[in-house]
Structure 1
Amino acid sequence: MTNDTIALGDLAQEVRSKNAGPFWVTMELFMRDEASYALAADAAYVNEDVVAELYGVAADQVQLFRIPSLNVVKISYPRPISQGSLRDRDMHAGQHHVPLALVRVPAPAA
């Protein structure tokens, strides 16, 4: 970690995750302003390959939705383990957002 980068979660108003049915997870980055949104929406930092690496899913199954009018980036991907199954350690997918919130991006100019 260097001083010229910052975690997405530090730029966001909220980062959350939840079930999108028993077989999918959805996450949202609610960014504070247009400058923060521009970093979160930048395909150089948040893209299908990054999400695939973070969550151990195939990049071609990751869905990204950039919503500039709301300063929101929404991400959906298939759950590696279906909700409520024997090996499910997060029944509501409420903690899946943490790796995404820790993604480092360039710090905005002060």
Structure 2
Amino acid sequence: MPETTLADLAHEVRSKNAGPFWVTMEVFLRDEEGYRIAADESFLNERVVADLYRVDADSVQLFRIPSLNVVKISFPRPVSQGSLRDRDVHAGQHHVPLARLSVPGRAGGEAS
């Protein structure tokens, strides 16, 4: 059976430009159960994000918004927006590693 990913629990996982020096990602969960899993600090925390994006864990900011079933994550861009080494000016593809994050103990793909 395929493993369940964070994207399976969400309506949408997106990333966006948050100015020339920051990236913001948002995970809009389908329901309270999905939010409970995504907001669990043992599953999604600053260290996990730091490892996924190769940034310093102290620079990662996580915001858990239970009234909206949303987890928001911000961290500094690896290079400033529009610089010679910037490969994603709008930060539109940064969400992919987060969306593919496996949910431990769950299998079956699409969440109910």
The unaligned stretches of length 5 or more in structure 1 are none
| RMSD value, Cα | 1.6
- TM-superposed deviation, 1:11: 1.1
- TM-superposed deviation, 1:107: 2.3
**1:14 is matched with which residue?**
12
TM-score (norm 2): 0.91
**2:49 is matched with which residue?**
51
In 1: Cα distance, 2:81 partner to 2:88 partner: 8
The unaligned stretches of length 5 or more in structure 2 are none
In 2: Cα distance, 1:100 partner to 1:50 partner: 9
TM-score (norm 1): 0.92
**1:101 is matched with which residue?**
99
Counterpart secondary structure, 2:80: coil
1:47-100 Cα deviation digits (max 9, x unpaired): 000000011100000000000000000000000111000010000000000000
Q: State the number of aligned residues.
A: 108
Counterpart secondary structure, 2:51: helix
